[in-house]
Structure 1
């Protein structure tokens, strides 16, 4: 029976035929073939990013469609900027982003681990094991690994009196970044910033109080931590003072201009007298606005909006320095730091709503006209600003990402003050524990346990390979030392110092970060193993 486009075809019993649109052009995979296709896509993403793992990892240069260049070895940034079409590859990108949002560190390691799990799952599929059994086995193995990490974790001292342990953790995070030539200084900046705003009783860190800004020029060693607020603005008039002491500032979100009539009609000025009257009205309003600010006791006005040259000149005449076009987030940060209130109308300005700061000064850079305003010695010293310097914008952008990672790791340690040792030591120890557990199982899941154990070794293997070592030989030696000496701190000697005990190198990682990597990678792989068909929205049958 022939069916024409738009018609309905019936068989001899009156049942309609299902006609699939462009069926001869559709290519659909189902069953294990679909799962293997997904595994291949995930492994390709993991192999791309594997070479960026560790302190000897390589950077990636990514060029956007409009020619913007980014050089980084941060896993989340690389994947975010990659042009990915495959649906499973997009899930790998989201995996890295989830790790970045939750912890801020370990974004490369979680993708490498997921890729290794997918590789092991493929070999189990070839042996005839059902994907559901593999997924369930991986989940049980992940739980075993997490429990083992809890057992080998060590308590970590967090105190404002002794910041050295936190600085060492931050140095571990920054060891693989572009800032490693001054990573002691950057680690101290990150730790001091977090500890300034941290609430140790509630075990909480408010990231909104930490602002990271960069300025091109100078050396990376010129970076500093300001106990206050730095904004990329200058005084509105060049003759206004560049430095002020004991400042009382009015934080205003209304413009320095006469109020406009709330009407849809326009005003036509038809004579000189009307124009003069309008000018007189504007001048009187300007005088009134400035008087309101001065009468409140303010010595500096911070305005969210701009004002014209006439208002600017009037402010100078009345000795009222002002800063204009200050953004909303910066206004809020200034209010928090100085203890002031954001005022929406000049009439509501009172002395109680003014913010206070010990010093407000302009900072200039190089031979250009670049200036920034520094507000220091504030009433609330909890708001801090990290000012980063560098030779070009790419270096500053990478330094921002690096310092953000260090800040996130210190925050996770404040939330859960337990650590494990880095350099792949935690993964090797967990791998041996999972393999030992597999020997106790009599069900089919023992194969998934052994595969999970092998997948955990992908991280130390990648570290060794990126450091120029012999991967298999290095891993075999470390596993032997873990088994014989029962010490869980042996990891890959990436810096080629001749000592593989990470405890002596002070290479430590947050337990929360490591557990999160294993859990997120396992959840993603379990999801991929359960997808055995892919349908697009327009690949639907028509009747």
Structure 2
């Protein structure tokens, strides 16, 4: 009150301020002012009135004046547009929509003369908001909100900063500390994870739909591989970007499971948000998730089917590869690729009888499979080649284009004239000296080429019918190519480094870095080597020994996105087969594990006294069911009906011997046993998926505030 009296210049102003901020009447205000004045605290004499409630006032006189009072004139649409434009509410394109909406919602009524008259509903809503939410109908706040939206549209303001400022009622960008209010961190993270889940869930499983990724240069990529989508999408939200990186890491480690990770995390955070608003502390949710994770991993060991897998288990490997491929490509293409994948795995494995002990076995190296795209034809075709294919040919027209029974030299030797690493100059006095200098420089390369020719002459004779092929990682100049062509040596220069090791696994021999002291043991052997031309490109085919340990898959397609999709599918299928051989376990697919694990967790939560930690167990159980639900929805089936059928089948087959597994048949819409249909998932993939999803969900649930870090950038740096 003292501050009001000091600020006010007149008693009338003081009464208005006291009524507005202190809810005092005029009498109470003036009595307090009189008391402060009498005590000498303020110099504030009473100058305007000395009349108070209850006093009798004499009437000096009465005068009757004739007149008419009218209500204020209502605005028409043009006048309302002027006010909207003055306060910056809406744009030229949306102002008319705002007016149209309030008319359609019966907030105002448009008269025949064009005036907009508020209805009783409009008056009631205005009074409610004015009494309880005055900030929401403030013209200045609405104008500020419009300015923030325009700033976001022009990329001059970050959307998270605007949300934090709006929700907390404070200027977070100016304060420079919090991006999100303490109570909104979990909501913000859950919204980000749920948005990513909705985007990815429609691509899960063999019936998932494709996504089209458009790069900045206008290039298209059509895929439903979660790793490809998450790796190439431009994600601005920090939480969503972190989840995408984690899912990509999941695919890098295990070769699959990126879509399932996003689906589980999104479902877990959605459940956590619901329980949080019901009053469950995040610590109880985190502890329950940890308990549920351990229970699921233990159940996974019991649920998985032990298999004695080897490279000779062709039927089982075929089913594993097909199960992985069906989620990436068409079923007909998956059937073809699965057979090729089995051939590749059999080619990479150590053949029986070639090693005397287990220590000398060569590990399965998937990088020994070259996937070579060739842009030709219309419909995509995939071929398996038991050898190597290089995407270039010989660089000399006189060289042979087809040879049989070839010695193969793989080397990393420069067979061309090279300039010195440092600047140097040679001075000569006459033309003879210059000629001798040039010959000396040429002789350095010629000697190395001559050593290769001498080895060829020693090993390849007319009697044995052998030929010679050189695969060089470095360059070969025209003069050296001329010398090799005269000896009918087929030479390829600048062979890719990744192919050098594959050639040695395919043909044998050892790669050399020098031509000094070359021996026959350094060479490999190939049954045939030939060169073909497809369009403007040349390709060299090298067919190795009888049992090569490297091979090539040739993809023939016209579209780049077709090649990319098939290549990613092949890599994932190879990794699935390798995981099966390493784990010696397989998990029934078609949503069988997720359904069984969810049922197990629900039983566990009902039987054991877990207290509030049971909410975390229930969270993971409901999130695991999101996988079979997504599979059913993508196939056009009713998710709840399919879950009910799975429950009925599980109850009917309980205690059966041998054990029956319950999965979804997405083609017929029925329940089936995935082990009988050959639908398998990887054990290590499922284990890593559960571990990663629960770990990230626990971390995000325990985040209570998002804080801005680092230095603030200037507007010029932001633009």
Is the CA contact 2:284–2:615 (under 8 Å) kept in the aligned structure 1?
A: no
Residues 55 and 436 of structure 1: is their aligned pair in 2 closer, same or farther, counting only changes over 3 Å?
same
| Aligned with 2:675 (options 484, 489, 503) | 503
Instruction: Name the SS for the 1:205 alignment partner.
Output: coil
User: Higher mean Cα deviation, 22-31 or 502-511?
Assistant: 22-31
Give the distance between the partners of 1:65 and 1:260, measured in 2 at CA: 40
Which of 226, 230, 242 is matched with 2:401 structurally?
242
Q: Is 1:213 equivalent to 2:372 in the alignment?
A: yes
**In structure 2, distance between residues paired with 1:153 and 1:260:** 62
Structure 2 counterpart of 1:416, from 564, 573, 583: 583
Instruction: Give the TM-score, by structure 2 length.
Output: 0.68
Structure 1 Cα separation of the partners of residues 419 and 204 of structure 2? 59
> What aligned pairs does 1:70-469 form with structure 2 within 5 A after superposition?
70-198=221-349, 204-218=363-377, 222-258=381-417, 264-267=423-426, 271-282=430-441, 284-297=443-456, 299-365=468-534, 368-378=535-545, 381-442=548-609, 443-469=611-637
Contact kept, 8 Å, 1:62 with 1:82, in 2: the verdict is yes
Alignment equivalent of 1:61, drawn from 198, 212, 216: 212
Per-residue CA deviation, residues 455-485 of structure 1 (Å, 9 max, x unaligned), is 1110111111110111111112112211332
Change in 2 beyond 3 A, CA 1:475/1:268:
farther
Q: CA deviation at 1:352?
A: 2.6
Q: CA contact under 8 A between 1:204 and 1:415: conserved in structure 2?
A: no
Q: Is the 8 A contact 1:335 1:341 kept in 2?
A: yes
Q: CA deviation at 1:292?
A: 0.3
Following TM superposition, by how much is the alpha carbon of 1:75 offset from its aligned partner in structure 2, in angstroms?
0.4
Distance 1:78 1:49 in 2: 8
Rounded Cα–Cα distance in structure 1 between residues aligned with 2:297 and 2:274: 24
Distance between the aligned counterparts of 1:463 and 1:210, measured in 2? 32
Alpha-carbon spacing, 1:234–1:462, altered in 2? closer, same or farther (3 Å): same
Q: CA deviation at 1:539?
A: 6.2
Q: Using the alignment, how far apart are the partners of 1:204 and 1:440 within structure 2?
A: 46
- Decide which moves more: 437-446 or 150-159: 150-159
Cα distance in 2 for partners of 1:204, 1:352 equals 23
Question: Is 1:423–1:460's contact at 8 Å kept on the other side of the alignment?
Answer: yes
**Alpha-carbon offset, residue 261 of structure 1:** 6.1
Label 1:221 to 1:160 Cα distance change in 2 as closer, same or farther (>3 A).
Answer: farther
Q: Give unpaired runs (5+ residues) of structure 1.
A: 1-19
Cα 1:295–1:427 shift into 2, 3 Å = same
CA shift, 1:21, in A, is: 10
Question: CA offset at residue 143 of structure 1?
Answer: 1.7
Is contact 2:525–2:545 with CA below 8 Å preserved after alignment?
Answer: yes
Q: CA deviation at 1:219?
A: 6.3
Give the conservation status (yes or no) of the 8 Å contact 2:428–2:434: yes
* Residue 59 of structure 1: how far off its partner (Å): 0.8
Structure 2 Cα separation of the partners of residues 259 and 92 of structure 1: 49
List runs of 5+ in structure 2 lacking aligned partners: 1-170, 352-357, 460-467, 713-719
Whole-Å separation in 2 of the counterparts to 1:315 and 1:199 = 36
- Give the conservation status (yes or no) of the 8 Å contact 1:256–1:286: yes
CA separation of 1:497 and 1:469: change in aligned 2, threshold 3 A: closer
Partners of 2:649 and 2:671 within 8 A in 1: no
How much has 1:43 moved relative to structure 2? Answer: 1.2
Question: Which whole-Å CA distance do the structure 1 matches of 2:220 and 2:214 have between them?
Answer: 5
Shift in Å at residue 108 of structure 1? 1.0
C-alpha displacement of 1:26: 5.6
Cα separation, partners in 2 of 1:148 and 1:199, compared to 1, 3 Å: farther
Cross-structure match for 1:528: 700
- Separation of aligned partners in 2, 1:488 and 1:32: 47
- CA drift of 1:369 comes to 2.8
Q: Distance in 1 between matches of 2:504 and 2:673?
A: 48
Supply the distance in 1 between the matched residues of 2:373 and 2:453 (Cα, whole angstroms). Answer: 34
- Which structure's relative contact order is higher, taking Cα pairs within 8 Å and 6+ residues apart? 1
Alpha-carbon deviation of 1:418?
1.6
What is the DSSP-based 3-state SS (H/G/I as helix, E as strand, rest coil) of the residue aligned with 1:190?
helix
CA distance in 1: counterparts of 2:210 and 2:552, whole angstroms = 27
8 Å CA contact 1:339, 1:379 repeated in 2: no
Q: Write the deviation string for residues 79-131 of structure 1: whole angstroms up to 9, x where unpaired.
A: 11111122211221122112211211122112111111111111111111111
Q: Does 1:471 align with 2:639?
A: yes
Give the Cα–Cα distance (whole angstroms) in 2 for the partners of residues 446 and 79 of structure 1.
33
State the shift of 1:432 in Å. 0.4
Counterparts of 2:328 and 2:448 in 1: how far apart (Å)?
Answer: 51
Distance in 2 (CA, whole Å) between partners of 1:539 and 1:273 is 69
1:5 equivalent in structure 2 = none
Q: Describe the shift of the 1:347–1:457 C-alpha distance in structure 2 as closer, same or farther (beyond 3 A).
A: same
Shift of 1:218: 3.5
Partner of 2:663: helix, strand, or coil?
Answer: coil
Give the superposition deviation at 1:380.
Answer: 6.3
Mapped partners of 1:489, 1:472: distance in 2:
19
Q: Quick one: distance in 2 between partners of 1:133 and 1:199?
A: 51
